[in-house]
Every structure is written in structure tokens, then in C-alpha cells.
Amino acid sequence: MLRAYAICIYIFLYLPISLIVFFSFNAGKYAMSWEGFSIYWYGKAFSNPLIMEALRTSVIIALSTAVLSAIIGTLTALGLERLKGWLRVTFDALIYVAIMVPGIVIGISTLIAFVSVFDLVNPSLAGFGIKLQMGTWAVIAAHVLFNIAVVALLVRARLQGMDRSLVDASEDLYATPLGTFRQVVLPLLAPSILAGFLLAFTFSFEDFIIAYFVSGPDTTLPIYIFSSIRRGVTPEINAVGSVVLLSSFVLLIIAQAVLRRGERTSRA
Amino acid sequence: MRGSSPRMMALSMTKTTRPKLVTALLLAPAALFFVFLLLVPLTVVLIFSFGERAPAGGYLPAFTLQNYMDLPARGKAFFNTLTLAPLGTLLTAIFAFPMAYFLAVKVSPRWRVAMLILVMAPFWTSQLLRYYAWMIILGNKGLPSWLAIVGITDVRIINTPWAVLIGAVYGFLPLMVPPIYVSLEKLDKRLLEASADLGATPTRTFFQVTLPLALPGVATGSMLVFILLMGDYILPQFLGGGKVFFIGNALVDLFLQSRNWPFGAAVSVALVAIMFVTIYFYMRFVLSKTDTRRAALV
């Protein structure tokens, strides 16, 4: 009984995804009426300059977000360990607020705060030929905010599970604090940092709603997909989607493998 | 007070202040982000919510409560969100529980994690494309036309609350299963045996032992799903099709179409306030429940 239920759930979860991949090989012009096998749309998608430009923007945003969040998030987790009292409570609260405030509100608040500041300073900057506006950088900033919190929580969990005696041993052997950090702490934290990096990358690459508000004139891949779904889809979008689906699957599996290997080594 | 000479004082000073400096440097980047991308923007939203709409759209400084009094104009969005988000969360938990139970209890340890990852994976792939696929499946050329072949006609699913609920279960099941799985996996199997030995029926064991012990996992999962559903935009946009809209859809409309920033700000403040209050009471309820259960067990 339970086994049959589980099979139904897997079908429920994977049927829509399979449909997208299936119709990406459609020879016909319409997204959902089958007219024979073809890889025509893959070629078309990858020679469409709009799609390629959106893909490039999304990869830049996701990579920058992942690198910045992994670094700042790790620093934050390390700093929080050393913090006590009301400052610590405040910082913890901010981390949870950053995670709990809906993405759409983050997008809105970033948009109106920055646009208001730009409206104030742009007239005086005009003399220098500078005009500040929303764009890729604002998407990165808003994504980093959320992912700092995620990485900090991941790394902190690992830090708390860490064996303190290793650090003590390293200090007893006259290692400098920086040496201990580089040779003992960092290798132990590496799996959680890498997992955080991959989660941040995926989040940033998939995000639609924050980018929709703050990307200004720039177009990310989810924004492109959103507007083409509104226009009526050709299998071109299915082709792009299939490639994206495949890459996020691979990323997720790497993230999981890394996290689990980390758990095993820390137990041993 | 270890040393009295100035030199000793200075030495002990550097010893205590330098670690503090390191801590400050470690936390500075995150603090900058929290201040300039979270606290300042949220404060701006709060200030804007008391302002007036500029004639061409945007914000005009003022102090008025009018935007909050106008909230009922978007009452439908609040009503839909506040009914469908909790309902969607509940349904997701109901569908996720047997799945988590299956993975934690029935599957051999060798395959457990792989099968769990298979459940989680869809959440990390394009939300847009997955809901788009459901738009086609539930659309008039999808499921209803297949049902018509069997003789069931005039079924409309897309753009109804049902479509949004199906989408919610589909979209958030991958997020709900793992925390329930974790709490069930930790469950001591001897408790179940003891319950059976003492003559409890399987049903009774389930309701009196398994379910209460799995409650923390259900609570964590429900919280995650509830937070994401409350602020959702794509799900109601695609499967509600402008008929079943959430607060998120109202916000996109207010900020990007009608450009009524102050009113939009008031709607955002209301959304965040409702979320925080709900989560606060929910946590208090869950904590009191789990504590009494634990006490009763001891």
C-alpha cells in the first residue's frame, strides 16, 4: 500500500518535468502538440542572442552571488561563534529575518529604497556624466543578503559539531591562530561552505521575483522565460528549460554528495 | 587587575581588544548587508506606507493612515492568501507524511538517502517551468479533455482554487518531506514495539506514539512551506490565472503596473506583519505541544 503511494508521488513529482523535456524534442511549432522528433529547437535556442544574453547575465549573477555569499557567510559564522550577549541575539535575529521576509518584499524594499536614493543623487552626479540605476549589481546584492543567512546557518551547524580538541591540539603544537584556521578549521568547514556555495548558486540562478523588481534594464533567464510563457511558448523554451533542469540536477547531486561525504569524515 | 605598570596594562589591553577587532572584522561585511539591504529598505517601505501617491506614480512625502484604511480594497488578495496558504500547507503535510514514513521506516538504509534526494530534487529546478507544465496539464486541453473522453465533461480546474492547491502540494512536497523524514528516522523503533507489546493496535500506536514524536518535523516543514506560500507570486499567477490571486500578485500590480508605491508599501507591511504574528503564535503553540508531550513521556 505504502509502496504504491510512494510510486504515485514520484510520478506526480516527475511527470511535469518529463513533459517539458519530452516536448523540447518536438519538431512542431507548438509547445504541446507532438509532430515528430527533432533537436531543431536546441540549435535555435542556442543561436538566439536574447536567450544567450539572458543566460550570460544569470550565470554572472549566480556565480557572483555564490562566491560572495560563501565568503561572507563563512566569516559571519566564525564571527558569531565569538560573539556573546545582546549583539549575538541581534545578529541571530537578523539572520532569521533575512530568511523569513518573503523574496517579493525584499525585491520591493530594495527597489524603492535604491530608486529613492538615486533620484536624490543623480541630479548632482549628472555633471560627471554618471547615472546610477538598478541592474545586475542590485540583483546580486539582494541575493547575497538572503544567502549570507543560509551559508551562515549551514557553516555554524558544522562549526558547532566540530571537535574542539583538534583546535586545542593545533594550538598546543604552537600553530599560529591563522595557521590553525587554515590547516585545521577550514578543511573541516569546507564541505558546508561548498554546499552553501552550491545552494546560493542554485537559488540565485532560479530566482525570478527579486530580479523582476530590481534588475532594471537587464534580463535574467527566469525573466526571459516568464515573459515568453506569457507570449505563448515554442519548444525553444522547453529546450532551454531542459538544459537548465539537467544542470541544476547535476549541481544538486554534487551538493548532496559533498555534504554527505563531509558528515562521514567528521564522524570518523 | 594583573599588572599595575603602564606597560603591563597596555599588554593586557591588546590581548583583550585584538580578538574583539577580529570579531568585528569578521562580522562587518554581513552587518553592512543587513543594514543597507534589509533594515534601511524595510524602514523605507514603512515610511512610504504612510505617504501619498505622486500624481505620476511613486511617492509623495506625507503622513496619512489612508493607505492602511484602503487595505480592504485588496481584501480578496488577503482572503485568498490567508485561506489557501494555510490550506495548501496542511494538504502538503498530509501528502508528505506517508511518503516520509515510507522512506524512514520501510526503505532499506542503503537506498534511503538516494530516494530522499529524488523527492527533494524538483524543488531546486526551475519553478517557472514546473508550474508552466502544470498550466498545460490542468488547462482545458489537458486533464479536462482527457476526462471528457471517459464521459466526464465540463470540468474546469485551471484558474480555480483547486489548481492553486494542487500546485502548492506539487511545489512544496519536496520541501516538506525531508524534515518529517529526519524526525521519523530518529524515532526509536523500540517505542513502537513496546506500544504493540502493551496491546495497542497499530492505529493507536500511530496516533499516540509515532505522530506526536514526528510533530517537530511536521512543524519545521509546515513553517518553511507556509513562509514561501504566503509570499508566492508565480504559483497563483500561473495556476490561478489572475482569478485566484495572492498578496504577491497584488504587490506586483501595485508596484510595477499602477505604480501606487505608498499603497503597495502598506500592503507589504501588512503581509510581513501577518506573517510574523502567525509564525510567533504558531511557534508558541508547537513548542507548548512538544514540551507537554515530552513531559508526558517522562
Q: Residue A66's domain is classified under what CATH number?
A: 1.10.3720.10
Q: What pLDDT, on a 0 to 100 scale, did the predictor assign at position A105?
A: 97
pLDDT confidence tier of residue A263, bands split at 50, 70 and 90: low
For B142-196, the pLDDT digits (tens) are: 888 888 888 888 888 899 999 999 999 999 999 999 999 999 988 877 888 888 8
For A115-153, the pLDDT digits (tens) are: 999 989 998 888 888 888 999 999 999 999 999 999 999
| Residue A36 is assigned to a structural domain of this protein | no
- Asked if B262 and B65 touch (Cβ cutoff 8 Å), the reply is no
CB distance A31–B37 less than 8 Å?
A: no
Which residues on B lie below 8 Å from A256 (Cβ)?
113, 117
| Residue A182 is assigned to a structural domain of this protein | yes
pLDDT at B7 exceeding the cut of 60: no
Q: What pLDDT, on a 0 to 100 scale, did the predictor assign at position A113?
A: 94
pLDDT at B8 exceeding the cut of 50: no
| Residue A38 is assigned to a structural domain of this protein | no
| Residue A37 is assigned to a structural domain of this protein | no
Locate the domains of chain B by residue range: 6-34, 74-297
Mutate which: A104, A171, A221, A248, vs B, most B CBs within 10 A: A104
| Residue A250 is assigned to a structural domain of this protein | yes
CB distance A112–B173 less than 8 Å?
A: no
Mutate which: B15, B48, B111, B125, vs A, most A CBs within 10 A: B125
Q: Name which of A128-137, A231-240, B89-98, B285-294 the model is least confident about.
A: B285-294
CB distance A9–B173 less than 8 Å?
A: yes
CB distance B38–A17 less than 8 Å?
A: no
Residue-wise over A80-90: b if at least 16 C-beta within 10 A, else e? bbebeeeeeee
**In Å, how far is B45's CA from the nearest CA of chain A?**
6
d(CA A5, CA B184): 18
pTM of the complete model: 0.88
Mutate which: B49, B130, B132, vs A, most A CBs within 10 A: B132
CB distance A17–B130 less than 8 Å?
A: yes
Domain count along chain A? 1
Q: What pLDDT, on a 0 to 100 scale, did the predictor assign at position B3?
A: 41
CB distance B41–A109 less than 8 Å?
A: yes
- Asked if B261 and B178 touch (Cβ cutoff 8 Å), the reply is no
Would you state the CATH architecture of domain B74-297?
Orthogonal Bundle (1.10)
Lookup: cell for A80: 558569531
| Mean pLDDT within B232-248 | 94
Q: What pLDDT, on a 0 to 100 scale, did the predictor assign at position A246?
A: 85
| Residue A82 is assigned to a structural domain of this protein | yes
Q: Domain span at residue A203?
A: 48-267
Which candidate from A73, A91, A206 shows the least CB-CB separation from B127? Answer: A206
Q: What's the ipTM?
A: 0.89
| Residue A7 is assigned to a structural domain of this protein | no
d(CA A102, CA B236): 15
pLDDT confidence tier of residue B9, bands split at 50, 70 and 90: very low
**Terminal CA-to-CA distance of chain A, rounded, Å?**
38
CB distance B137–A145 less than 8 Å?
A: no
| Residue A189 is assigned to a structural domain of this protein | yes
pLDDT confidence tier of residue A4, bands split at 50, 70 and 90: very high
Q: What pLDDT, on a 0 to 100 scale, did the predictor assign at position B28?
A: 96
